[in-house]
Amino acid sequence: KAGVTQTPRYLIKTRGQQVTLSCSPISGHRSVSWYQQTPGQGLQFLFEYFSETQRNKGNFPGRFSGRQFSNSRSEMNVSTLELGDSALYLCASSPRGDAYNEQFFGPGTRLTVL
Amino acid sequence: QKEVEQDPGPLSVPEGAIVSLNCTYSNSAFQYFMWYRQYSRKGPELLMYTYSSGNKEDGRFTAQVDKSSKYISLFIRDSQPSDSATYLCASSRIQGAQKLVFGQGTRLTINP
């Protein structure tokens, strides 16, 4: 079974631009979560989608948004990029998202903002 | 104060040593506790998961949760160079269980 895939793997943008990252979960998984990983703050939860609905949200500004499609694929968007948005963005999928299910992480998209 | 605290290390030990990794947490509502391993340029992978208090063993790995002291531990026996990685503890509540709160991660090196 294929793992979680994320595209693109690397991205360079400049301040003020916007970016869209894509995540394809493991086949059959309906819950997709997004995390930001930086050396200073570590791994921080952004949001979780289940059946096309945002179910949980972390403490990030409104510039960070996401969506999930009917096939469970998910995208996250960051508008008006800031230097501090440079990070590894990780997507994780789990089967149902009820109670605790193991989350399977993708390799991440490394975003550099210049 | 972060909800989950973890010493970032780095920690360097000789091959074959017993490794002890620890975290503390502050949110009493946390019921799920996990340990993830992350190799360089890879996403985290789940090593161990426990619900509420107690011990769990899987091969060379043992996870312990003490809810009375809000302490999470991972022990690695007979450590191998291939265990060199960053180890992350994580916790979550029953409500919104998919919202994991991670520690900072401890970078571990096992020296041959």
Which tens digits make up the pLDDT trace of A77-93? 999 999 999 999 999 99
pLDDT in tens, B74-83: 999 999 999 9
Q: Across the interface, which of B45, B88, B99 has its CB nearest the CB of A45? A: B99
Residues 85-114 of A with CB under 8 A from B: 90, 92, 94, 97-108
CB B8 within 8 Å of CB B21: no
- DSSP helix/strand/coil, A84: helix
CB B52 within 8 Å of CB B105: no
Q: Across the interface, which of A43, A100, A104 has its CB nearest the CB of B92? A: A100
Residue B86, pLDDT > 90, answer yes
Average pLDDT over chain A, rounded to an integer: 94
Write out residues in chain A with pLDDT < 70, as ranges: 1, 97-100
* pLDDT at res. A97: 66
Chosen for mutation from A24, A43, A101, A102 (greatest number of chain B CBs closer than 10 Å) is A43
User: How far from A49 is each of A67, A92, A96, CA to CA, in Å?
Assistant: 7, 10, 11
- Any residues with CB less than 8 A from the CB of A52 and at least 6 apart, and which? A67, A68, A69, A70
